Structure 1
Amino acid sequence: MKDQVLAGLLGLCVGDALGVPVEFRERGYLKQNPIREMIGHGTYDQPAGTWSDDSSLTFCLAESLCKGYDIYDIGYQSVQWYHKGHWTPYGEVFDIGNTTREALDRLCYELIRPDLAGLTGTRSNGNGSLMRILPLAYFLKEATFEEKVPMIAAVSSITHRHIRSIIACVIYVEFACHLLQGFDLEESYRKTQVAVNNYYKDEPELAHFQAILNGNIAEVTEGEIQSSGYVVHTLEASLWCLFNSVNYVEAVLKAVNLGEDTDTTGAVTGGLAGIYYGLSAIPGSWVDVLARKEDIIDLAERLAEKLASA
């Protein structure tokens, strides 16, 4: 279990860090100047190996799960990141989405219940909950689908409470759970399609996920894949990269080189690719330059110990 947890967390963080220097770069630019290695500076002028809010909030969730599932503590950890630099690479936040910012302000200053803090408007469907939800897959790996959904919905709803964001998180966590159980990509995908379609069969919002749930995302052309910060785009792009690659390195580089929201597409792809291909598939040279590498390894060990004891 320890290697599985570490592969997912490091896989996500490396994908994030690869994308940070070129966030907001267009695909055409990256076609001409592709990312092939871990570089620094760029968009935020950060050193190589710097990760963003994607990894920070993922680590906050993992940190909380080391004590068990407590939606209040998950919210608290997230606020500590936003206001006090908890689980940041160098002690300060340099990137935060508008929806996440507003939700965490509500949580902090209005003392609202964490799972009611998230925004519910249709324009509040950025990828800010999808990017941080992966640790929940470890916690819910053996749960039934009906048990998973309310917990995934609550964790997403800390920042993103619209049903579209919640469904995206459900698809992602369910897919990751099947990978953790040892199923291959195709079987994990098929099982996820069946479970989500059956559970949400009367939900109109499911129409936004047709390319994933009623088609084969692997067969979509690159030109049809978008890589903006919209949650559906991020989920589609990440699954597409995973299915159209043969190893971890290819998957995360393909994700980053799609352009636009490069850190999040890299992170969401990297978490799944890390789980599927394993810890040894993540280049050691990329891991070695990560900020706070030893802290991340320690976090993975603590989470694995908690899961084993549970």
Structure 2
Amino acid sequence: MSTPHAPSPAPVTPGDRPADPRDRARGSLLGLAVGDALGAPAENMKPSQIRRRWGRIEGFVADDPAGTDDTEYAIFSGLLLAEHGAALTVAHVEAAWHQWIADLDEGPFRGAGFSERGTLENLRRGLAAPISAQHRHAWSDGLAMRAAPFGVHAAGRPAEAARLVAVDGTVSHDGEGIYGGQAVAAGVAAAMVARTTDAVIAAALSVVPEDSWTARSLRRAVAAAQRSRLDPGITRLGTERAVRSAVVIGGYPWTDLAPEAVGLAFGAFAAAAGDFRGAVLTAVNMGRDADTTAAVAGALAGALGGFAAVPEDWARAIGPVRGRCLPSMAGYHVLDIADLLTADVPTTGTPA
């Protein structure tokens, strides 16, 4: 039997959130990694399958929790951004894909999504961007999953975050795949300085075409979440069902569509009013591409709440990545990337 909502988190006020951008950067990228590791066991599952196996997921269900390609590709993009900053070009991104992934002996490489596989096949055939993004999965959530570092870098500047993530995405994505990455990057950029979830959602919507599938999916998911939160008779399970039904295309076999995954992530973020634990667990328990939706929800909520928003026991479980997907990324920790991206940023300020 489902249980009623716990009391909604109190509205975010200026004093609730740390002003230190380094703290928020660490919260965002750690939140991404935590969400990824929490969601990985539930990836591609239906909510009913999750309930049959675990009841409701309330924490790590794997004995040795670890992130997936979501965390490793976010580190990859974060390193690239730390090196080039606002001067990042498509040529830089393409060269990095060759240097760190495509031109290496594949060895233990595994776990990448279809968009990454398609991109690598094209790069290895000698195709250059944007032609390298011409494959059947250019609308996947593979850019959205690695978009958070751009929001961290461009804190308070959603349009700049959206511009830079589109540069990164030109090698691997097109159309709605780019829009999904832009929505996430802009949302994180706003969350790095924001007081409210509404500001984060508005920033995400401001950088994608109003009539795009991504924008429509995001608006529907957030509206469903907000309606459910205002109705005390709707259970937590009922909220998850409402958000899921607002965006999921029933019967479609692929769960990694950017408009769907981004909608679910923002819906989870809105349903929890930005509370980290609530946002991530809502995303996980909705299934589908659960590692990516929880990673995005975690990046948003972690940026809004800062490092302390991530439960301590969950944070302790996150170590350096193991290179299961990208061997060249083995040994990097998301907190190292957060510190790199904010190395030149003053540590004091006032939330916007």
TM-score, normalised to structure 2, is 0.72
Contact between 1:7 and 1:275, CA under 8 Å: does it hold in 2? yes
Amino acid at match of 1:52: T
Structure-1 residue corresponding to 2:151: 137
Instruction: Determine the structure 2 residue equivalent to 1:65.
Output: 81
Match of 1:152 among 165, 175, 200: 165
Q: Closer, same or farther in 2 for the Cα pair 1:191/1:96, shift >3 Å?
A: closer
Q: What's the % identity of the aligned pairs?
A: 20
Structure label with greater radius of gyration: 2
Q: Which amino acid aligns with 2:218?
A: I
Structure 2 vs 1, CA of residues 276 and 126 (structure 1 numbering), >3 Å: closer, same or farther? same
3-state SS of 2:84 partner = coil
Give deviations 1:32-53, integer Å, cap 9, x for gaps: 322222132xxxxxx5221111
Counterparts in 2 of 1:9 and 1:108: CA distance versus 1, 3 Å: farther
CA distance in 1, matches of 2:286, 2:102: 28
Contact map agreement 1:217 1:236 (CA 8 A) in 2: no
Aligned equivalents of 2:157, 2:288: Cα separation in 1: 35
| 2:178 pairs with 1:166 | yes
2:93 to 32, 57, 74: 74
Pick from 176, 194, 205 the counterpart of residue 182 of structure 1. Answer: 194
1:39 is aligned to 2:65: no
User: Which residue type is aligned with residue 3 of structure 1?
Assistant: D
Corresponding residue number in structure 2 for 1:302: 340
Q: Is the 8 A contact 1:100 1:160 kept in 2?
A: no
Correspondence 1:27 to 2:40: no
Distance 1:240 1:57, change over 3 A: same
**1:126 deviation in Å?**
1.4
* Structure with the largest fraction of helix: 1
What's the counterpart of residue 284 of structure 2?
256
Shift of 1:151: 2.7
CA distance in 2, matches of 1:83, 1:7: 33
1:222 matched to 2:222:
no
- The separation in 1 between residues aligned to 2:345 and 2:201, in whole angstroms, is 25
Q: 1-side partners of 2:105 and 2:340: how far apart?
A: 21
Gapped regions of structure 1 (runs ≥ 5): 41-46
| 1:12 CA displacement | 0.2
- The match for 1:212 is 218
Give me the whole-angstrom Cα distance separating, in 2, the residues matched to 1:85 and 1:224.
Answer: 42
Structure 2: 5+ residue stretches without partners? 1-20, 228-241, 249-254, 322-331, 348-352
Query: TM-score, normalized by length of structure 1?
Result: 0.81
| 2:67 counterpart of 1:51 | yes
Conservation of the 8 A alpha-carbon contact between 1:18 and 1:263 = yes
Which amino acid is the alignment partner of residue 240 of structure 1? G
Residue 290 and residue 84 in structure 1: after superposition, are their counterparts in 2 closer, same or farther (change >3 A)? farther
Closer/same/farther in 2, CA of residues 81 and 150 from structure 1, 3 Å limit: same
Letter in 1 for 2:154: L
- How far apart in 2 are the matches of 1:28 and 1:211? 23
Structure 1 residues 2 and 196, CA, compared in 2 at 3 Å: closer, same or farther? closer
**Partners in 2 of 1:265 and 1:25 — Cα distance?**
13
Contact 2:217-2:247 at 8 Å conserved across structures: no
Q: Structure 1 273/92 Cα, relative in aligned 2: closer, same or farther at 3 Å? A: farther
Tell me, in whole angstroms, the C-alpha distance in 1 between the residues paired with 2:203 and 2:334: 31
**Deviation of the 1:63 alpha carbon:** 1.0
Matched, 1:7 2:27: yes
TM-fit CA distance, 1:264:
0.9
Moved more, 8-17 or 292-301: 292-301
Alpha-carbon deviations, 1:113-152, whole Å to 9, x = none?
4x5421365x53111111111111122335473x554433
Q: Is the 8 A contact 1:49 1:286 kept in 2?
A: no
Verify the 8 A CA contact 1:217 1:239 in the aligned structure 2.
Answer: no
- Kindly state the Cα deviation for residue 169 of structure 1 after the two structures are TM-superposed: 1.9
Offset, 1:94 = 3.3
Distance 1:191 1:22, change over 3 A: closer
